[in-house]
Structure 1
Amino acid sequence: MKSQWLSLLTICGAAATALADKRPYSVLMTEATMARKVAKVRWYTEQVFYRGVQYVYNATGDAKYAAYIRGQLDPILTENGTFTNWDGVASYEGLDNLRVGETMLFLWEHTGQQRYLNTADFLRREIDRQNRTDEGGLWHMDKTPDQQWLDGLWMVGAFYAHWTALFEPGNGTAWDDIAHEFDLIEEHCRDPGTGLLFHGYDESRRAVWADPVTGASPMLWDRADGWYFNALLDVLDWFPRSHPGFGRLRGYFVTLAEALRRAWDGEGGGWWLVMGPDYVGRKGNYIESSGTALFVTGFLKGMRKGYIPKHEYQEFAFGAYDAMTRKFVNETCGTINWEGTVKVGHLNGNGTFEAGLTGSLQAYIKEPIAQNWLLGVGPFIYASSEIEAMRG
């Protein structure tokens, strides 16, 4: 037994030395997560992490990171770029199923291989096949009829804009459509009291949680606002500045940045899972890590792109990053872990599933918290990559 403990201490000591080598957090978290064996699937959870790997590849130029992404996705693609396990589920899973499109564009741009472009083209056609509200908003999925969620614009917005910029830059109809998706969210989900956005809305007002006037859900869920905050930035990367939608989207981002700065809990070190002022500090509510990391990423990238002024936001954003790191990064026994990420948060389409909880505070706080959940790990890598570039 004594020899086993000595062996463990020796292993942990050697690994701790590796952590002390001053590699940046973006690299440390990426390497640790790669070592934990991420599933080789197309689901959005994994794509959130692969985006972080792309950040590290872009920063380091190390080809092993791009090769890792290829190694994760090649096994589920045929030689001509179709998914081996697609089976027509895209319409059922809806927009979540399309986040992989951005990864495919990265692989095509990195390798020039036609099969990745074939996959991206297929996913672009899937956007046109999705159901829409009467106003033209993309349903989040078939089982949530007439509903738009903030999450969906993260899942599809950047890919839609990126693909259009590459292959149909003059397609005004597509640019109008992309901007319209955000316009609808702003119309139905912006909370006039806080400036934050409710998780989603139901155009039909049939969902048990839908506000009878706006159709909006009642809770301000942090990760949904985080997805939206970053979706705006990612779409603006590709959106033509000459289009009137560019100014609107930038304005939506600036307004949300101002609201999020007000909502930060400096003592808690981040943002609450459910951010409404009536719910902050309520039993079961807590400072959550994935939304916090997404918000910090948005502030840092927003400054880098010039959408919000550094003299107003840099001190705040740097402080929020450092507080987040102290709270959620756990370095133990030779590895680095990310704590405090809620696994999921959702709105139900027709109120038949857990109808008593749907859309309520309890619906969000009852979900489990996971260590090293990719939906938190990925955003922490984004934020780390941004701040490492800014701090030099």
Structure 2
Amino acid sequence: MKVLKLLLVAMLLFFTACDVTVKEKETTETGANDTIVPQNLKWSERMMLSEIHRFPEASKLDFVDIPRWSYTNGLVLTAAERVYTKYPKQVYYDYIYAYADTMVTANGEIRTYKLPTQNLDMLKSGDVLLYLYAKTKEDRFLTALKTLRSQITTQPRTSDGGFWHKKRYTNQMWLDGLYMAEPFYAQYTKTFSTGEEAAKAYNEIVLQFDLIQKHTLDPKTNLLYHGWDESKEQQWANKETGTSPNFWSRAIGWYGMAMVDVLDFLPEDHPGRERIIQYLNQYAEAITKVQDAESGVWYQVLDKGTQEGNYLEATGSCMFAYTFAKGVQKGYLPQQYMKVAQKAYSGILKNFVTVEDNGVVNLNKCCAVAGLGGNPYRDASFEYYVNEKIRSNDPKGTGPFILASLVLDK
């Protein structure tokens, strides 16, 4: 009887131990391993890993179902390249490479890219190929790069030499286009061109900034209008100046990033370099004046923060934070603007960023898209800008958030 009791106790202890082991295993599998993005990393890595989680295929960034060649991919992957440079983990490089591997065929054709549309937006992903060609020397990437460069040669121009934003947007320059085209054009020129060819290209790059300043700058505020129609035929165009009627945050954000990024490649002795730095300083002063004092971030329509319907918007705010921080870091802007960038970044974290239980980081209150003209027609009115769709994790916000996080080392 005593032996039987001992046997029963032994069996009870055995099954209890097994049960504990199973529960510990379950806890491990459903507890610690639920963490997708570790919270002990810098914000740049946390957002980059969150983007990779949201969009495992970089060719489908921006919530699309079919792989495509687009500027949003180029923006986020430019951020990924800089994350990889600072934190060289293979996952980041693989994410960048997979995009080019998917989108560029063995003979160098770019899938979904259509040269005849003459769309400046499509040049942005060329930055990815410039980066990868330098590392891999794959001929297909060089062939694709030459195709993108050929677009610049054939791009329709205004009478004074400004690139049309797209072939179908006749006679129009948009602020967006400066970021889409000029850093790529400048880096391509620095990499592949010499002599008179390079000099001509650099002059044309600087001309685009000169013309944007000439045609879209408001002399009262030193803010820049979203677009300019040389023909003054668009419904949105002022019949005297040709400018659109409002100061849209993200358009002006694109322009700021274009200035600080193009200076990475413009020769130190080029006479246009000082002009762009002057434009940047004028810009910084104007943008700081419309920064929301309480939150530290910016409104969707910059100068109308008190108007009903306007809202604090994430993508433009991230772009401004990056522009100011990089401008100071590179010595283009006075030190005082680092405080502006830091205040903006704190405001971004407080007003726009949320973190899920699994560590995935979200950027909220992003304007999904805005443009000029088209069908249905976009009239650039205040009501138009504030009523466009708002969503979370738009790559036009997550990319600049990563870039700002890197420069500020947050």
Fold conserved (TM > 0.5)?
A: yes
Q: Is the 8 Å Cα contact of residues 186 and 265 (structure 2) preserved in structure 1?
A: yes
The correspondence for 1:239, drawn from 250, 266, 270, is 266
State the distance in 1 between where 2:135 and 2:31 align: 37
Deviation at 1:53, TM superposition (A): 0.6
State the distance in 2 between where 1:215 and 1:74 align: 42
Query: Per-residue CA shift, 1:51-77, capped at 9, x if unaligned?
Result: 111110111122331221111221221
Aligned to 1:379: 400
How many residues end up aligned between the 2 structures?
373
Any residues of structure 2 matched to 1:227-306 within 5 Å, and which? 227-276=254-303, 279-306=304-331
Aligned to 1:156: 181
Query: Per-residue CA shift, 1:302-360, capped at 9, x if unaligned?
Result: 011100122x22222212111111111101221211111101110116xxx455x5121
Query: Per-residue CA shift, 1:188-242, capped at 9, x if unaligned?
Result: 1111122111001000111111122221111101101110001011111111122
Q: Is the 8 Å Cα contact of residues 41 and 73 (structure 1) preserved in structure 2?
A: no
CA RMSD of the aligned region, Å? 2.0
Query: Per-residue CA shift, 1:246-291, capped at 9, x if unaligned?
Result: 1111111111011111111031331111112xx2222221111000
Structure-2 change in CA distance of 1:130 and 1:28 (3 Å): same
Structure-2 change in CA distance of 1:120 and 1:11 (3 Å): same
**145-154 or 114-123, which deviates more:** 114-123
State the distance in 2 between where 1:41 and 1:106 align: 19
Q: Is the 8 Å Cα contact of residues 226 and 291 (structure 1) preserved in structure 2?
A: yes
> Structure 1 residue 26 and structure 2 residue 44: aligned?
yes
User: What residue identity is the alignment partner of 1:49?
Assistant: V
Q: Is the 8 Å Cα contact of residues 269 and 327 (structure 1) preserved in structure 2?
A: no
> Structure 1 residue 364 and structure 2 residue 364: aligned?
no
User: What residue identity is the alignment partner of 2:259?
Assistant: L
> Structure 1 residue 102 and structure 2 residue 149: aligned?
no
**262-271 or 369-378, which deviates more:** 262-271
User: What residue identity is the alignment partner of 1:234?
Assistant: D
Structure-2 change in CA distance of 1:79 and 1:212 (3 Å): same
Q: Is the 8 Å Cα contact of residues 44 and 405 (structure 2) preserved in structure 1?
A: yes
User: What residue identity is the alignment partner of 1:33?
Assistant: E
Q: Is the 8 Å Cα contact of residues 41 and 72 (structure 1) preserved in structure 2?
A: no
Alignment gaps of 5+ in structure 2: 1-25, 61-66
User: What residue identity is the alignment partner of 2:52?
Assistant: M
Any residues of structure 2 matched to 1:47-86 within 5 Å, and which? 47-86=74-113
> Structure 1 residue 326 and structure 2 residue 350: aligned?
yes
The correspondence for 1:122, drawn from 142, 147, 155, is 147
**234-243 or 221-230, which deviates more:** 234-243
Aligned to 1:143: 168
Deviation at 1:148, TM superposition (A): 0.2
State the distance in 2 between where 1:169 and 1:243 align: 14
**70-79 or 221-230, which deviates more:** 70-79
* SS of 1:330 mapped into structure 2: strand
Q: Is the 8 Å Cα contact of residues 296 and 343 (structure 2) preserved in structure 1?
A: no
* SS of 2:119 mapped into structure 1: helix
User: TM-score, normalization: structure 1?
Assistant: 0.90
Any residues of structure 2 matched to 1:9-20 within 5 Å, and which? 11=30, 15=34, 19-20=38-39
Deviation at 1:97, TM superposition (A): 1.4
Structure-2 change in CA distance of 1:51 and 1:135 (3 Å): same
Q: Is the 8 Å Cα contact of residues 269 and 323 (structure 1) preserved in structure 2?
A: yes
Q: Is the 8 Å Cα contact of residues 37 and 50 (structure 2) preserved in structure 1?
A: no
* SS of 2:362 mapped into structure 1: strand
User: What residue identity is the alignment partner of 2:138?
Assistant: Q
Seq. identity, %: 35
* SS of 1:324 mapped into structure 2: helix
- Rg comparison, structure with higher value: 2
